[in-house]
């Protein structure tokens, strides 16, 4: 970097020397557009380094100009004008907006505007209107289907639930797969923080949905959003950029009369897919009704006598809150079924109302943008909600022609309540879907009276404890989950980005930019006494999470023409970044008072409380430089490098990148080829990285741990406390993991820029991937965090847009995108697999497979791949686990259609995902429970058949089940099969025969119709500039072979595992109406 | 003049560029303690809890399913019961042994630096206990190369070698305990640092492993120094407030959580043997098992339905007087003479006849254990209706008593495998198969998934559930 300093000084001297050679004059002038002065427009004497920048009045003064000089007047987004000076001393210029080019201005990773056509790497740009129009209450989901190679998956339909963003596939195994978010030039935390205690407070496989902090941004505050997919575009961010970078620019005020805009949106949401539940067979086993039985393999409901059940009035009983009394059933007569009623008990029509008010204005020296947003959302599950308040104030001030300042400040508060889900005995869906169809989940809370007359208040009644006779009902009644349990979150976040700009000359600019981003998230989890599982003693837990990021950049930029054909821009900068965080957890259990009021006073026994805290700090600093050469208005070469030192790594690391763009249509030979209006070939190469996690270098100790051999945990803190040597082995030799990527592509525009096609091929290899690599337990450790794995991604991205019609009344266009990412885990340093998720079907990294491979017990097979069959011709599970499927799609694509006729516009967006497998484990487990519709069929046997236990069923028997042939002749799949190898839990289940083989889906992601009213009456009588009405449908239609659940769902939320669903709260579809009034 | 401004700014920029100084020394952990600063005895309780889980946790329940003691009704335990034992099922037990116990006890010893022979000896007994268990369950296991800094893939040692080394380790432990001063170690949740109890346990463990390697005369002499009274048993004693989980009988915790309904004694061969009304009952004129049958029933319904061995606060036996006495009986009968064996058996039955092993809910229920006489084992006698040799009839009764008394320990599984050879089939307990299609009984636990995946020295080909371990060949 010292070289560039020398060069600058050299240029300085050259400039000074230059001045005496010609007869000189001073000229003044102004640069404006139709609306007024263009502050910051550059006026350059062509072929020299002489130039200046317009002041706040759009005025400039230039010394040392000769009559032969030509001035080039530039402003980004406008058509450049050249003017011969001649003998004029005053030159006023009006620039025209470049309609085509305006779209093509992109914001770089450092927050500066760049002309897209000059870049050798790919940028996807998503416009603010497109995000707002999508109708998603959260920002991330609004990006779905809008850019090639960007995969957005929301794990479920819970209000505010986090969503995962993947750019060009997964780029790391152990670390976060989420991209770096840069807002107005400063990194913003997009944390997805799991609960600290799995299950109780929402870990990866149980608990509740957690939020993505990127969603804290109000979509209405966003001016533009760019996705920097390649390593080259992102490499200035070094070890933060391996997952790509999303650059967000917030709105700026506009000078002139204040613009007041008010927008209100109302949304109605409902469940997207429902699991089909059978209504034919009752609770019980072996064809017999049994009270409190886990399964619904009981009697045929239609065969019952009908009428009321016979009960015993003289023993124990359950009296519900409204006085309804339930007695022990002595004879099950009723033929009533309740699957729909039980569903309606906890599901509702969800809705949200969002208000957005913004005020923008200012004078020529200073502008401001103020916004207030308020979102109140009630989810489709009772008592799930998400209330958000956003405030933002952006100010830009130009003090004089060389000094400017801006400050962007925002505050958000989010309060929400989440519903327990997934692998979790207190989960709503688990309790609901396992409920026997002949059990009525009403009267979920009440008092149990034992046969001896003792009373037990606030007991829970559920299908496995229908009189509430036990403290632990095994599974929660779904309404207990929604109405008695609490899982709240209260987020407060404050971000401020002050920036100082100094423009001493036309070719030199300094930017000093700071940023502080702080949030706290207080999460409370309350399980009253008599909740399911070990929580029946009552648990109140609280996590307080705080994160802070401080960032500072000092940047110097220069730009000058070396001669008529060569322009050189350079940037050098320094970055300092510090991230700190703290998580505290408090818990009390075993309440002495049985009530639904969450307070630490519920127990006074100190032994029943526990505390925990974790904390981290990581700091990095980086010097970086960037040189861009523009040659002959045809070729652009960009070179950059960042030298980074970080607290988590021992040495400095260097991240280089290079890209080149050649606008070949500038060659004269293309002048007469009218079809091709623009053509660019581009290539880029770069390195980016992932920093090691903080504090992984030492082997330390665990304090107050708990261990189990299988559902039988012992907790050392209850035995006087103690320590153990950590099962994670420290590693003092960590390096960043490095992703090296190249891409080649072309941008082509035809027919006067009406048809545009962008094509990119990329390949990246990620080496030294950091992860907790399992080590043989016999070493005394389970894991060591190491640079251990290698992985590659390759794929193709195509973006297409076509303006079919564009005239004063009509605009009709289509857009489309396509991506096929192919990921392969190349090496795991000897380990066969790395678990990304846990659970019976896990999502793993397996050498030779795509990341996320589904891993579980599988059928024992013969050498030729056919199923190995037992004596009864049934397959059985082998003893070793293995890969049973790949959840990665073969390709993904989106196609959009937009039409505008006068003030009426229509947008339609379809998204498609092709291929991949999906472990819809809810269905598999419901086979075991006998509640799934698939296991409610009756079959009349045409021949003697055996079931999995070898029991012979003679021809003519009528059996609940199905006939199947595994290759050894027909066999009977009945209760014995579905409750052992063919469904349910455990290591004997043959998962590879049970998961869904084709997870392809197509969604009508978005359809919206809007009408804008801006007639004279409105403008003159009501003084409103416009009123816009919009109706939007979100995820209205879905085509897929997957039954009962959205194949995008994920049990693991925003984490690295995916492709598995297990009683995950369902997804939604919505209809929204919005009204926007602009004053 | 203006130019100075820029030069100043440039200088500021370069001053800070990419300094490692700014980031040094911020990577030390902010909350976790280093082992260096923790007193050695503070690692003991955690190691003892891990040992509890290795001895009376999941693997122990699996051994019960494979010896007719327990029935798997649902979920995992149903599949395991049907002989589907996958490599993930043994993971947690292996982890408790190799991470939970051994590194911790060795860390303690290394921190003692030759001081505190009592704690040193205790740690050695614990290592011998858990490694001996691992060797008998899994066959060849890593031992010589475990917990060595820089060694990535510990090699697997032969089962017999490991057990021989365990005997040597116990000898060292006994030496240390013999020279140790008496003291109290409150972190010792088994014995509170009682030197005498640890010494007896060390000898009982020696007897246990000699029995398994069929070195019966060594077993006999070791057992004579073993646990001398039931009050010296090495038990896991649950503590704490009722309904706080994490400190209770492991069977109770299992059944009171999500595993309710999955596993219990109902319908098992063991249950039928004790049940006075069962068709295979061992009750007769001199033996009334009513109380023990009820006490040793594990009700699968849920935790709170249990009042006996699987109730919340019921201690769980790990190394016992019962085992020691029955080792004396069997080894005595085998290596000394009939009357020696009979004498020890009767001593043990006299202990049973005190009812001291029952808890308060069952000690008022009927039980009788009268002394046997030689005639009971002679052809046509009470314990020899099928007229086998008198010595064999005595051994058969001792083995059956070990099978019953050893409920919820590994003794029934160890004995079943030890006595499966044709020459011992006359005295072995005839454990039925769990499925109609099975033809052989499990002979070991399979190696865990993680060790298979990560340790290049894992035996190949992998032994399966039915591969007989070396000492039982």
Residues B225-248 have pLDDT tens digits of 999 999 999 999 999 887 678 999
pTM over 0.90? The answer is no
| pLDDT for residue A669 | 86
Q: Which residue of B has its CA nearest to A699?
A: B34
Window from A632-636, B195-199, B210-214 with minimum mean pLDDT: A632-636
Assigned token pair, A560: 């000058």
Distance CA A1028, CA A662 (A): 42
Mean pLDDT of B164-169: 98
Average pLDDT, chain A: 89
**Angle B115-B227-B174 from CA coordinates, rounded to 5°:** 30
Mean pLDDT of A520-538: 92
Mean pLDDT of A420-437: 93
DSSP strand E in A783-936: where? 783-806, 810-827, 833-835, 842-846, 853-859, 877-885, 891-901, 904-914, 919-920
| pLDDT for residue B8 | 52
**A19 has pLDDT over 50:** no
DSSP state, residue A935: G
Answer whether B53 sits within 8 Å of A707, measured CB to CB.
Answer: yes
Contacts of A645 in chain B (CB under 8 A): 18-20, 22-23
Phi/psi at A429 (5° precision): -70, -35
| pLDDT for residue B281 | 95
| pLDDT for residue A21 | 42
Distance CA A551, CA B311 (A): 58
Residues 542-571 of A with CB under 8 A from B: 554, 556
Structural contact between residues A188 and A240, judged by C-beta atoms closer than 8 angstroms: no
Answer whether B49 sits within 8 Å of A703, measured CB to CB.
Answer: no
Task: Give Cα separations from A516 to A189, A394, A586, B257, B356 (angstroms).
Answer: 10, 15, 28, 46, 69
Chain B nearest CA to A370, separation (Å): 33
Distance CA A225, CA A218 (A): 13
Q: Point out the residue among B45, B239, B246 whose CB comes nearest to the CB of A722.
A: B45
Chain A nearest CA to B192, separation (Å): 12
Please, which residues bridge with residue A815 across strands?
A801, A896
- Pick the more confident residue, A171 or B67: B67
pLDDT tens for each residue of B336-347:
999 999 999 999
Mean pLDDT of A913-942: 96
| pLDDT for residue A407 | 96
Interchain CB contact of A983 with B (< 8 Å): no
| pLDDT for residue A255 | 81
Contacts of A776 in chain B (CB under 8 A): 142, 152-154, 450-451, 454-455
Window from A67-76, A818-827, B390-399 with minimum mean pLDDT: A67-76
Answer whether B49 sits within 8 Å of A707, measured CB to CB.
Answer: yes
| pLDDT for residue B278 | 85
Contacts of A5 in chain B (CB under 8 A): 10, 14
Q: CB under 8 Å to B328, separation ≥6 — which residues?
A: B220, B223, B224, B344
Contacts of A845 in chain B (CB under 8 A): none
pLDDT bin (cut points 50, 70, 90) of residue A4 is very low
Answer whether B146 sits within 8 Å of A590, measured CB to CB.
Answer: no
Contacts of A589 in chain B (CB under 8 A): 244
Q: Point out the residue among B20, B256, B465 whose CB comes nearest to the CB of A472.
A: B256
Window from A237-241, A458-462, B331-335 with minimum mean pLDDT: A237-241
Highest mean pLDDT among A88-97, A531-540, B307-316: B307-316
| pLDDT for residue B81 | 96
Distance CA A173, CA A773 (A): 11
Assigned token pair, A776: 């043989």
**Residue of A354, A360, A119, A131 whose CA lies nearest to A224:** A131
| pLDDT for residue B13 | 52
pLDDT bin (cut points 50, 70, 90) of residue A11 is very low
Distance CA A85, CA A103 (A): 31
pLDDT tens for each residue of A205-223:
778 888 888 899 999 999 9
Assigned token pair, A619: 């700091």
Between chain A and chain B, how many beta carbons pairs sit less than 8 Å apart?
A: 325
**A107 has pLDDT over 80:** yes
pLDDT tens for each residue of A731-785:
988 999 999 999 999 999 998 888 999 999 999 999 999 988 889 999 999 999 9
- Pick the more confident residue, B222 or A585: B222
| Beta sheet of A877-885, edge-to-edge order | A833-835, A842-846, A853-859, A877-885
A965 burial level (CB within 10 Å; 0-12, 13-18, 19+): exposed
Mean pLDDT of B434-457: 94
**B78 has pLDDT over 80:** yes
**B262 has pLDDT over 60:** yes
Contacts of A717 in chain B (CB under 8 A): 246
**A534 has pLDDT over 90:** no
Element (H, E) at A479: helix A478-483
**Residue of B51, B418, B417 whose CA lies nearest to B201:** B51
Chain A nearest CA to B8, separation (Å): 12
| pLDDT for residue A204 | 67
Answer whether B247 sits within 8 Å of A714, measured CB to CB.
Answer: yes
- Pick the more confident residue, A72 or A501: A501
Answer whether B30 sits within 8 Å of A719, measured CB to CB.
Answer: no
**A15 has pLDDT over 50:** no
| pLDDT for residue A34 | 67
| pLDDT for residue A101 | 47
| pLDDT for residue A198 | 45
Element (H, E) at A232: helix A231-234
Q: Which residue of B has its CA nearest to A984?
A: B75
Answer whether B35 sits within 8 Å of A722, measured CB to CB.
Answer: no
Task: Give Cα separations from A677 to A100, A748, A754, B466 (angstroms).
Answer: 12, 8, 9, 75
Contacts of A877 in chain B (CB under 8 A): 79, 84, 86
| pLDDT for residue A3 | 44
Q: Which of B450, B462, B464 to mutate to test the interface with A (most CBs of A within 10 A)?
A: B450
Contacts of A590 in chain B (CB under 8 A): 241, 243-244
pLDDT tens for each residue of B16-74:
454 667 777 788 888 889 999 999 999 999 999 999 999 999 999 999 999 999 999 98
Answer whether B49 sits within 8 Å of A698, measured CB to CB.
Answer: no
Structural contact between residues A702 and A715, judged by C-beta atoms closer than 8 angstroms: no
Assigned token pair, A492: 């407060």
Q: Which of A534, A622, A701, A709 to mutate to test the interface with B (most CBs of B within 10 A)?
A: A709
Please, which residues bridge with residue B271 across strands?
none
| pLDDT for residue A1 | 39
Q: Which residue of A has its CA nearest to B103?
A: A780
Q: Is the dihedral of CA A1050, A1051, A1054, A1056 positive or negative?
A: negative
Query: What is the percent of chain A with per-residue pLDDT over 70, rounded to a whole number?
Result: 96
Structural contact between residues A281 and A301, judged by C-beta atoms closer than 8 angstroms: yes
Assigned token pair, A691: 């920093």
Residues 585-624 of A with CB under 8 A from B: 589-590, 605, 607-608, 613-623
Structural contact between residues B84 and A988, judged by C-beta atoms closer than 8 angstroms: yes
Contacts of A473 in chain B (CB under 8 A): none
pLDDT bin (cut points 50, 70, 90) of residue A7 is very low
Answer whether A5 sits within 8 Å of B58, measured CB to CB.
Answer: no
**A199 has pLDDT over 80:** no
DSSP state, residue A17: H
Q: Which of A530, A716, A778 to mutate to test the interface with B (most CBs of B within 10 A)?
A: A778
């Amino acid at each position: 970097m010292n070289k560039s300093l020398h060069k600058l000084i050299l240029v300085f001297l050259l400039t000074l020397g230059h001045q005496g050679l010609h007869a000189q004059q001073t000229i003044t002038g102004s640069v404006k557009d139709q609306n007024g002065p263009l502050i910051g427009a550059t006026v350059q004497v062509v072929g020299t380094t002489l130039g200046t920048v317009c002041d706040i009045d759009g005025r400039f003064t230039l010394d040392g100009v000769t009559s032969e000089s030509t001035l080039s007047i530039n402003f980004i987004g406008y058509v450049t004008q050249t003017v011969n000076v001649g003998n004029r001393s005053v030159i006023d210029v009006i620039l025209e907006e470049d309609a085509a080019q305006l779209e093509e201005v992109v914001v770089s990773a450092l927050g500066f505007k760049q002309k897209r056509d000059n870049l050798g790497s790919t940028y996807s740009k998503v416009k603010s209107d497109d995000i707002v129009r999508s109708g998603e209450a959260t920002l991330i989901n609004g990006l779905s289907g809008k850019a090639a190679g960007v995969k957005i998956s929301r794990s479920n339909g819970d209000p505010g639930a986090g969503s995962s963003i993947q750019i060009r596939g997964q780029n790391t195994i152990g670390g976060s797969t989420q991209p770096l978010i840069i807002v107005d030039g400063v990194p913003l935390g997009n944390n997805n923080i799991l609960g600290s205690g799995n299950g109780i407070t929402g870990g990866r496989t149980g608990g509740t949905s957690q939020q993505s902090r990127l969603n804290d941004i109000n979509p209405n505050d966003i001016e533009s959003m760019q996705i920097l997919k390649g390593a080259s575009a992102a490499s200035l961010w070094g070890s933060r950029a391996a997952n790509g970078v999303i650059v967000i620019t917030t709105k700026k005020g506009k000078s002139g009369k204040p613009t007041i805009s008010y927008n209100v949106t109302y949304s109605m949401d409902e469940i997207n897919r429902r699991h089909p539940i059978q209504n034919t067979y009752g609770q019980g086993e072996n064809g017999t009704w049994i009270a409190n039985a886990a399964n619904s393999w009981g009697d045929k409901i239609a065969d019952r006598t009908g009428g009321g059940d016979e009960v015993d009035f003289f023993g124990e009983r359950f009296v519900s809150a409204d006085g309804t009394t339930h007695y022990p059933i002595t004879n099950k007569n009723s033929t009533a079924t309740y699957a729909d009623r039980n569903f309606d008990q906890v599901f509702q029509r969800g809705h949200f109302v969002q208000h957005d008010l913004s005020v923008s204005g200012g004078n020529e020296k200073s502008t401001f943008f103020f916004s207030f947003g308020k979102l109140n959302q009630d989810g489709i599950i009772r008592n799930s909600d998400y209330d958000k308040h956003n405030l933002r104030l952006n100010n830009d001030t130009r003090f004089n022609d060389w000094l400017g300042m801006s400050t962007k400040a925002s505050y958000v508060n989010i309060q929400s309540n989440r519903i327990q889900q997934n692998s979790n005995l207190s989960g709503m869906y688990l309790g609901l879907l396992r409920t026997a169809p002949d059990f009525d989940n009403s009267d979920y809370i009440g008092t149990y009276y034992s046969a001896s007359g003792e009373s037990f208040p606030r007991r829970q009644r559920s299908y496995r404890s229908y009189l509430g006779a036990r403290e632990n009902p095994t599974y929660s009644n779904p309404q207990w989950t929604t109405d008695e349990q609490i899982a709240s979150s209260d987020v407060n976040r404050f971000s401020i980005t002050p920036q100082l700009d100094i423009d001493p000359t036309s070719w030199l600019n300094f930017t000093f930019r700071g940023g502080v981003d702080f949030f706290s998230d207080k999460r409370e989890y309350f399980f009253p006494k008599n909740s399911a599982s070990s929580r029946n003693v009552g648990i109140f837990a609280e996590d307080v999470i705080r994160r802070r990021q401080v960032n500072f950049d000092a940047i110097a930029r220069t730009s000058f023409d070396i001669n008529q054909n060569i322009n050189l821009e350079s940037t050098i900068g320094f970055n300092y970044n510090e991230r700190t965080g703290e998580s505290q957890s408090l818990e009390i259990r075993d309440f002495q008072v049985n009530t639904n009021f969450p307070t630490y006073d519920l127990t006074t026994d100190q032994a029943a409380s526990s505390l925990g805290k974790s904390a981290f700090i990581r700091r990095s600093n980086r010097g970086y430089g960037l040189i861009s050469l523009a040659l002959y208005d045809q070729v652009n070469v960009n070179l950059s490098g960042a030298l980074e030192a970080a607290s988590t790594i021992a040495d400095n690391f260097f991240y280089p990148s290079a890209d080149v763009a050649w606008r070949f249509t500038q060659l004269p030979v293309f002048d007469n080829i009218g079809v091709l209006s623009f053509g660019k070939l581009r290539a880029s190469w770069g390195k980016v990285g992932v920093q090691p996690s903080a504090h992984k270098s030492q082997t330390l100790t665990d304090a107050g741990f708990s261990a189990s051999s299988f559902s039988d945990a012992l907790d050392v803190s209850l035995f006087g406390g103690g320590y153990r040597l950590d099962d994670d082995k420290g590693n003092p030799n960590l390096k960043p993991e490095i992703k090296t990527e190249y891409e080649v592509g072309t941008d082509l525009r035809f027919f006067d820029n009406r048809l545009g096609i962008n094509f990119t091929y990329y390949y990246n290899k990620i080496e030294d991937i950091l992860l907790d690599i399992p080590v043989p337990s016999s070493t005394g450790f389970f894991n060591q965090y190491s640079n251990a794995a290698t992985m590659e991604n390759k794929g193709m991205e195509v973006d297409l847009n076509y303006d079919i019609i564009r005239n004063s009344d009509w605009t009709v266009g289509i857009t489309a995108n396509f991506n096929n990412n192919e990921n392969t885990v190349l090496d795991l340093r000897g380990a066969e697999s790395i678990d990304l998720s846990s659970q019976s079907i896990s999502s793993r990294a397996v050498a030779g497979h795509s990341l996320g491979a589904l891993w579980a017990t599988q059928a024992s097979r013969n050498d030729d791949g056919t199923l190995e069959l037992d004596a009864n011709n049934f397959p059985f599970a082998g003893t070793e686990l293995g890969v049973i499927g790949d959840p990665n799609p073969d390709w993904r694509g989106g196609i959009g259609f937009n039409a505008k006729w006068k003030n009426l516009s229509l947008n339609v967006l379809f998204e498609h995902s092709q291929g991949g497998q999906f472990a819809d484990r809810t269905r598999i487990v419901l086979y075991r429970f006998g509640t799934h519709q698939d296991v409610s069929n009756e079959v009349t046997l045409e021949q003697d058949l055996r079931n999995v236990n070898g029991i012979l069923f003679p021809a003519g028997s009528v059996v609940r089940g199905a006939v199947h042939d595994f290759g050894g002749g027909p066999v009977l799949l009945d209760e014995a099969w579905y409750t052992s190898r063919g469904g349910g839990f455990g290591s004997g289940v043959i998962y590879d025969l049970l998961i869904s083989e084709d997870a392809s889906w197509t969604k009508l992601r978005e359809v919206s119709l809007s009408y804008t009213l801006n007639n004279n009456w409105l403008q003159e009588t009501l003084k409103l500039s416009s009123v816009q009405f919009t109706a939007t449908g979100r995820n209205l239609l879905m085509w897929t072979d997957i039954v009962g659940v959205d194949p995008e769902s994920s049990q693991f939320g925003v984490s690295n595992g995916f492709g598995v669903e297990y009683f995950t709260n369902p997804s939604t579809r919505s209809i929204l109406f919005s009204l926007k009034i602009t004053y | 003049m203006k130019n100075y401004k820029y030069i100043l700014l440039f200088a500021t920029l370069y001053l800070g560029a990419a300094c490692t100084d700014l980031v040094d020394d911020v990577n030390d952990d902010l909350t976790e303690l280093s082992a260096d600063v923790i007193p050695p005895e503070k690692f003991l309780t955690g190691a003892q809890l891990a040992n509890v889980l290795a001895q009376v946790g999941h693997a122990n329940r699996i051994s019960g399913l494979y010896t007719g003691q327990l029935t798997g009704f649902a979920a995992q335990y149903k599949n395991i019961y049907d002989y589907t034992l996958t490599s993930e099922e043994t993971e947690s037990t292996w982890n408790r042994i190799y991470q939970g116990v051994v590194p911790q006890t060795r860390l303690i010893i290394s921190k003692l630096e030759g001081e505190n022979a009592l704690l040193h000896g205790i740690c050695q007994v614990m290592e011998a206990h858990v490694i001996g268990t691992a060797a008998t369950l899994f066959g060849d296991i890593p031992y010589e190369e475990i917990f060595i800094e820089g060694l990535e893939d510990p090699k697997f040692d032969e089962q017999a070698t490991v057990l021989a080394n365990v005997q040597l380790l116990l000898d060292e432990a006994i030496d240390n305990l013999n020279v140790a001063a008496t003291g109290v170690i409150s972190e010792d949740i088994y014995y509170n640092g009682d030197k005498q109890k640890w010494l007896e346990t060390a000898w009982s463990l020696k007897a246990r492993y000699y029995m398994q390697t069929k070195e019966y005369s060594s077993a006999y002499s070791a057992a004579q120094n073993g646990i001398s009274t039931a009050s010296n048993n090495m038990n896991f004693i649950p503590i704490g407030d009722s309904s706080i989980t994490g400190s209770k009988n492991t069977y109770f915790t299992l059944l009171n959580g999500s595993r309710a309904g999955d596993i219990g004694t109902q319908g098992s061969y063991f249950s039928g043997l004790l049940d006075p009304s069962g068709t295979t009952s061992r009750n007769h004129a001199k033996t009334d098992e009513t109380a023990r049958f009820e006490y040793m029933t594990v009700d699968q319904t849920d935790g709170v339905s249990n009042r006996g061995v699987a109730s919340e606060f019921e201690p769980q036996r790990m190394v016992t007087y019962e085992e020691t006495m029955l080792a004396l009986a069997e080894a005595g009968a085998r290596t000394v003479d009939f009357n020696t064996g009979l004498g020890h058996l009767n001593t043990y039955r006299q202990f049973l006849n005190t009812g001291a092993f029952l808890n308060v809910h069952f000690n008022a229920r009927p039980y009788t254990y009268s002394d046997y006489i030689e005639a009971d084992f002679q052809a046509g006698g009470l314990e020899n209706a099928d007229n086998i040799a008198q010595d064999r009839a005595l051994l058969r009764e001792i083995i059956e008593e070990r099978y019953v008394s050893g409920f919820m320990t590994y003794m029934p599984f160890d004995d079943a495998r030890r006595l499966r050879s044709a020459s011992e089939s006359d005295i072995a307990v005839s454990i039925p198969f769990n499925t109609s299609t099975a033809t052989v009984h499990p002979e070991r636990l399979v190696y865990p998934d993680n060790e298979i995946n990560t340790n290049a020295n894992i035996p190949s080909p992998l032994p399966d559930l039915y591969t007989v371990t070396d000492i039982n060949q």
